[in-house]
Amino acid sequence: MAGTVLVFVFLVLCCSQAQRLVNLVLLPDAVNDGAVCLDGSAPGYYINKTSVNRWIIHLEGGGWCYDESDCYGRSSTRLGSSSMWQKAMQLSGFLNNDPDVNPEFANYSVVFVPYCDGASFSGNLDNPITIKDKKIYFRGHRILDAVLNSLREKEHLDQAEAIILTGCSAGGLSTYLHLDYVQSMFSNIKVHGMADAGYFIDAANIHGEMYIRGQYQHVFEMQNCSGGVNSECIHSKEESERWQCFMAQYTYPYIKTPIFVLNSEYDTWQLESILQIGCRPPNCSESQMQLIAHWRTTFLQALQPAIQSTTNGLFTDACLHHCQSMSDQSWSKIMVKNQTAHDTFVAWLDMKGTRNVRVVDDHTNPDNPTCG
């Protein structure tokens, strides 16, 4: 998944026409508090401050490292070390500062938090592990704390009127896991979440095996994530089931802060990595298409708490993609029941107008004609 997401992000960041430049702020002092990337380097964030009142905080995605060896390899990439981060980057879609493309959010201050811990900003293991004479640190939740504290102290984030926490893929999962925590840190501010492509479900693959369950469980236990996910979820589970709180499907019912779900019903990463279908429509056999149709049914069943919510928002589409909020095309042009993800989110956030704030695509195949 990491390679696929990196290619996607590269294309989004480099090829959009109207984009926002954000500059890197490293946090070397955070190292003293143990807030470090996998390789022990300092965390940080990219920022473009245009408003003191309204903020978007985006948590980057990029998969997870599933075991110790995987984390060792990841520690030598930009998803595990800040030593490889560029000094500035450009953003688009929901983070676009072009008012013609993104009028409601163009004037928000944007913080983009690069991902370097391998567990959706959730791990907190006191002692590093040693692999091949290299120390590997699992400190994602300390990174999140360091970023939020820096924003409070340097940018006076605690004086804001509104914060939107968002992210895509593993960052979308981060949004589900940490939204209530962010609200608790800024209790006097209206906090909303928008989780893009982070509703990974606990489902069987084509052989009937619950393969992905073991993957998430090992990440949760390896990185000591029990203190870095939704506390209400953790307190409701027996110890043997607490790993479930690392999955949006099980965490969503415990989230108290308003949240908007943005997801494809045919999410390409989930089809490839959870269902393990081995093809992509239209290049699939009839039997494979039947399995994909059954996947959609399974996904929508797991999504029922969000579909039935009377307060939270939702937009799902019948498109073959993974992550869409950072693309001008998919954020503002894919249509479901005559409205876009952008339209639906704005309607939900403002609670004004006549648009539906919970939209589910009825296409039973990934053939929504506006997918592009």
Respond yes or no: is residue 169 known to be catalytic.
yes
Instruction: Reply yes or no on whether the pLDDT at 25 is more than 80.
Output: yes
Helix axes 140-155, 170-185, angle to 10 degrees: 50
- Domain presence at residue 13: yes
- Tell me: the pLDDT tens digits for 259-281? 999 999 999 999 999 999 999 99
Q: Please report the pLDDT score of residue 8 as a whole number.
A: 39
- Pairing type for strands 190-196 and 259-264 reads parallel
Going by pLDDT thresholds of 50, 70 and 90, the confidence category of residue 97 is confident
CATH number of the domain residue 77 falls in: 3.40.50
Percentage above 90 pLDDT, the chain: 87
Instruction: Reply yes or no on whether the pLDDT at 231 is more than 80.
Output: yes
- Domain presence at residue 258: yes
Average pLDDT of the residues in 17-34: 85
Q: Exposure string (b/e) for 44-66, b if CB count within 10 Å is 16 or more?
A: bbbbbbeeeebbbbbbbbbbbbb
Q: Of residues 322, 327, 328, 343, which has the active-site annotation?
A: 322
Q: Please report the pLDDT score of residue 328 as a whole number.
A: 83
- Domain presence at residue 289: yes
Respond yes or no: is residue 361 known to be catalytic.
no
- Domain presence at residue 38: yes
Give the Cα separation of 27 and 95 in Å (integer). 23
- Tell me: the pLDDT tens digits for 45-86? 999 999 899 999 999 999 999 999 999 999 999 999 999 999
Q: Give the number of domains in the chain.
A: 1
Residue whose pair of structure tokens reads 């107008």 in the numeric block: 353
Which of the residue ranges 188-192, 307-311, 317-321, 331-335 would you say has the lowest mean pLDDT? 331-335
Average pLDDT of the residues in 159-184: 98
Q: Please report the pLDDT score of residue 169 as a whole number.
A: 98
- Domain presence at residue 366: no
Q: Of residues 16, 109, 169, 325, which has the active-site annotation?
A: 169
- Domain presence at residue 207: yes
Element (H, E) at 316: strand 313-317
Respond yes or no: is residue 184 known to be catalytic.
no
End-to-end Cα separation, the chain, in angstroms: 22
- Tell me: the pLDDT tens digits for 51-62? 899 999 999 999
Q: Of residues 39, 145, 267, 317, which has the active-site annotation?
A: 267
Domain that holds residue 173: 2-360
